[in-house]
Every structure is written in structure tokens, then in C-alpha cells.
Amino acid sequence: MPVSHSQLYDVIIAGAGPVGLFLACELRLFGCSVLVLEQAHDAGSPLKRLPFGLRGLSVPSIESLDRRGLLAAIEARMVDRGTPAAAHWMQQPRAPGGHFAGIQFFKDRVDASQWPYRLPGPLGTIAVDIESIEAVLAERAITLGAEIRRGCGVESFDQSDENITVRAGTESFHSRWLVGCDGGRSTVRKIAGIAFTGTEPEFTGYSAQVELADPEKLRPGRHYTATGMYTYAPLGTIAMVDFDGGACHRAQPVTREHVEAVLRRISGTDVMVAALELVTTWTDRACQATDYRKGRVLLAGDAAHVHSPLGGQGLNLGLGDAMNLGWKLAATVRGEAPPDLLDTYARERQPEGERILDWSRAQVALMRPSPSSRALEAIIRGLMETGDGATFFAERVWGTGLRYDLGGKHPLMGRSAPDFDLGDGTRLNERLRHGRGLLLDFDACASLHAIASRWSKRIDYIAADPRDRLGLSALLVRPDGFVAWSSDLSVDGEQVAPALARWFGNP
């Protein structure tokens, strides 16, 4: 007889990966009751550790984690685990800033002055591994009071106008909302009947740890060949792309003999794989959910969008989903949200998902084993050596160009708020730790203070004189750190009232 639990959770999250765990942290920060259901019994996996679990956190992800006081813990854990093994692109005199289809751009060519609303400071990505970020997020979620059940994946659910009943094995759970963060083959998405559309794969990708009988036959680094692409990092870390239409992804067990045959074909050598220690496959399938919400069901992370791992954009895209959704769903749960607040989640994040999927597809086009692709590669390499070219690719890879269409003419609106040094020993990011909105007043305007007091239950008013105000007089920052209103002119309090009502409801 199935066991039905009587507790009504505010939100059930399917999936305890980085996106589901970060969303759990966000919802608990705002006081929602949260249950996370995860199919896997064990959080650990060799694929989450170095080298295969290595990812780069983009600027928006770094800022989001810093705003919630999580970044320092992640960085400390990476230090404790040791510096990631040097990859081939790190063994060079110039500091690489990232890559597009394996083609590097360098930090010495990036012109950050082209981003006038970013404060001076370090830019680029931070290396993390999936196991570390999951461990930090799980610890924070549990500390905040989230409940995590492993070995208990969502199998089915029914939703009404008021609630959702979720079945996992022999147990049933009840909630007001369900969020699918359960990966590209999302059970939640399929049961909800949300279409997943896009483009089918052109290749099968392989990530393998091997022992080579004759490693001298492979040159370290990334290499394009007449049949595909391979990357080799001593001792025995190999990535390969075989343009077979994705035929070998999850089609059959990947054996030592198979890996050796593919490696020989792509590298054009007779290298011998003596032992296969670990291997996983992946493709460039690029699909997106047609809807991020259906009734009381929402999607985030890979459940909402999948693409090739080229450039490491997937983790960052999912963390951005969680940061954007968390405060909006929590305000809806509490009954404080304006009528269309939750709808802005899809309006803001679906275009970003589409943009990243096209970025992934463009890299695949450049990797195809054809003379035209190699010719285009040479042009892209030349472009990346120019200041404008390197800055363009840095803006996309690092995420500094992220901007939501929030209306308004000021160029800072919809962008991530600069991390102002507020002159009192605190930074703007630190003032977002509690998840409240901020109204920053750099001119100590009495009418701004007065208007802020009407929304004092949901925002903090900060009169500050930052060291570098970037020409601004005032700005309104949402709980996720994005600018909802800004001005570089003298302002009256009533000018910000519509933005306060739009994002924070009635005072």
C-alpha cells in the first residue's frame, strides 16, 4: 500500500544536481518549505570529479553565488582539493580567457572598457568541479532547512488548481508547486506534456580516462583532423568528437576496443589503448522546452534546455534559472507577488536559453571536418586576436553581456548590478545575502527614502556614497541582483514607484 505523507510542502524539486540544490537554497532563504527528490542513491560520481567534472563558473554565476555567501565556500573547497590539473591550454605564456569551439582568445586582448557599467576588477571564469559545488549547495540547503531524499526519484504526479501530488516509489508527497530540475531526460517535463524541440545531434562526443601503450603517438592539446577532433592531456585524459550523427551515444556499452577504434580513426595514428578506466559519451543535441511552466509545474536547468557541453555553458545557464526563479516563486507562494511576476521567469530565461543553444550550434558548425570549416576557423582565430574580437567572445563566454529586457532606456536596466563598495565596509553583493531588494540612493534624496519606507517589508533602502558610482544617482536592485530601475539624474521618489510596484507588488 503506497504511503501518502500528509505534509503539504510549498515546493517539491525533482533533482539534486547543482540547479535543484541552488533553487532549494533560494526557496529556503525566503521561508518556503522545500522537499528535494533525487533518483540517485549516492551523490558521488567519478564523472563529477576532476578531470571530467571540471567546469568554469561564468561572471553571472560567480556574482549570484557571491550574493548568497556561497562563493567563498566553493573556492575554499577547490583549494582544499588542490588546483585542477593543468590543461593543455594553460601551458602557455599568455593567459587564455576561454574558447569558442576550441579556438582560444586571450585576456591581454580583452578591452573591459567596452563594458561601461562594470566596475574594474578580475574578470573571467573560476574553475570548479561538480562534486564540490554540489557539496557546498547541499550543505547550505540542509542548514537552511530543506529536506533532501535520495534514492527517491519522481515517477508520476497529478496536479489540480491548488496542489500537486507527487509519487516516488511507494511514497506520495504533496506540494503547491513542482519544479523539474531532473536533467535532459526529465520525467517531470514528459509527464507535464511539455514539448522539447530543437536540433538532433551531428556527433558522438567521448570523454575518457585511458592508459595508452604508446602515448608518444598523440600530441598533447586540441587537434582538428579530417575525421573529427580530439584533445589529449597526459596522462591519459582524452576527449573526442566523432561526426556519426550521435549513433554511439547510449546505444551500447562503450568498450576499450571501441574507444581505441574511434581514437585511431580521428587521430590518424595506430595508437593502442591498453586499458579503459572511465568513459562517458555525449552529443550536440540542442533542444529547449517550449514552455517553462505548465500550471503548477516549472522547469529549470537541463530539464528546460540541453546542448553540447562545448564551452561549459550548461551549468551556468541552469544556475541562472535557479537564481531568477527562486525569489519569484517564493513571492508567489507567500502571496506577495504582482500578478505576472512568475511569468517573467520564462520571459527572461527562455531567450537566454535560445541564445546559448545557438552559441552551441555555431561551435559545432566550426568543428565539422570539412575544408570550409577549417577555412572559417582561420578567420575566427584572426578575429580573436583583435581587441574587438576578443572582447566580443569574452562578453559571450564570460556572460558579461547578459541583459534582460525589462523596458526602460537606461543602459544599466536589466543588467547585473555592479558590486559597489558602499563606503561603510560592505559591498552591494554582501547586502543581497538576505534576498531582499535594494534601493540605493547615492544623493541622499529625502523623497527616495520616503518611497522606500512604503516597501520596507520587502526592500532595504541604502544611502551611500560609493567610491565609484559610475555616474549613477540611484538604482533599484531586484533580489537576484539585477537592476530594475536606474538613473544618472536627480530623481524624485515617485519615479521609482512603478518599478517597485512591478517587482514587489503593493506596499
Considering only CA atoms, which of 351, 343, 275, 347 is closest in space to residue 317?
351
- In Å, how far are 43, 62, 64, 77 from 132, measured between CA atoms? 11, 15, 17, 7
Task: Give me the sign of the Cα torsion angle 270, 271, 277, 279.
Answer: negative
Task: Give me the sign of the Cα torsion angle 187, 188, 193, 197.
Answer: negative
Q: Using CA atoms, how far apart are residues 402 and 400, in angstroms rounded to an integer?
A: 6
Query: What was the pLDDT predicted at 91?
Result: 59
**16's grid cell:** 539534486
The CA angle 384-390-393, to the nearest 5 degrees, is 100
pLDDT at 443 over 80: yes
The answer for residues whose C-beta is within 8 angstroms of residue 489's C-beta and 6 or more apart is 473
pLDDT at 179 over 50: yes
Q: Kindly report whether the global pTM for this prediction surpasses the value 0.85.
A: yes
Query: What was the pLDDT predicted at 2?
Result: 66
| Least confident span in 266-270, 407-411, 452-456 | 407-411
Query: What was the pLDDT predicted at 86?
Result: 40
Q: Helix 71-81 crosses helix 59-67 at what angle (to 10 degrees)?
A: 110
Query: What was the pLDDT predicted at 87?
Result: 43
Query: What was the pLDDT predicted at 454?
Result: 96
pLDDT at 277 over 60: yes
Average of pLDDT values for 447-468? 95
pLDDT at 298 over 90: yes
pLDDT at 144 over 80: yes
pLDDT at 83 over 70: no
Query: What was the pLDDT predicted at 139?
Result: 98
Query: What was the pLDDT predicted at 122?
Result: 82
The residue count of the chain comes to 507
Strand, helix or coil for residue 13: strand
Q: Using CA atoms, how far apart are residues 333 and 325, in angstroms rounded to an integer?
A: 12
Q: Quickly state the pLDDT bin for 347 (edges 50, 70, 90).
A: very high
Mean of pLDDT over the chain: 94
Cβ 258 vs Cβ 248: under 8 Å? yes
Q: Which residues pair with 148 in a beta bridge?
A: 36
Three-state SS for 379-442 is HHHHHHCCHHHHHHHHHHHHCCCCECCCCCCCCCCCEECCCCECCCCCEHHHHCCCCCEEEEEC
pLDDT at 85 over 60: no
Pairing state between β 34-38 and 147-150:
parallel
Q: Using CA atoms, how far apart are residues 394 and 200, in angstroms rounded to an integer?
A: 28
Average of pLDDT values for 41-59? 91
Query: What was the pLDDT predicted at 88?
Result: 42
Q: What is the pLDDT of residues 306-338, one digit of tens each?
A: 999 887 789 999 999 999 999 999 999 999 999
Q: Is the bond into 235 cis (omega within 30 degrees of 0)?
A: yes
**Domains of the chain, CATH where assigned:** 7-74+129-197+287-367 (3.50.50.60), 92-124+369-402 (no CATH), 204-283 (3.30.70.2450), 428-504 (3.40.30.120)
Buried (b) or exposed (e) across 48-82, using 16+ Cβ within 10 A? bbbebbbbbbbbbbbbbbbbbebbebbbebbeeee
Average of pLDDT values for 412-423? 96
Pairing state between β 204-212 and 273-283:
antiparallel
Amino acid at 249: H
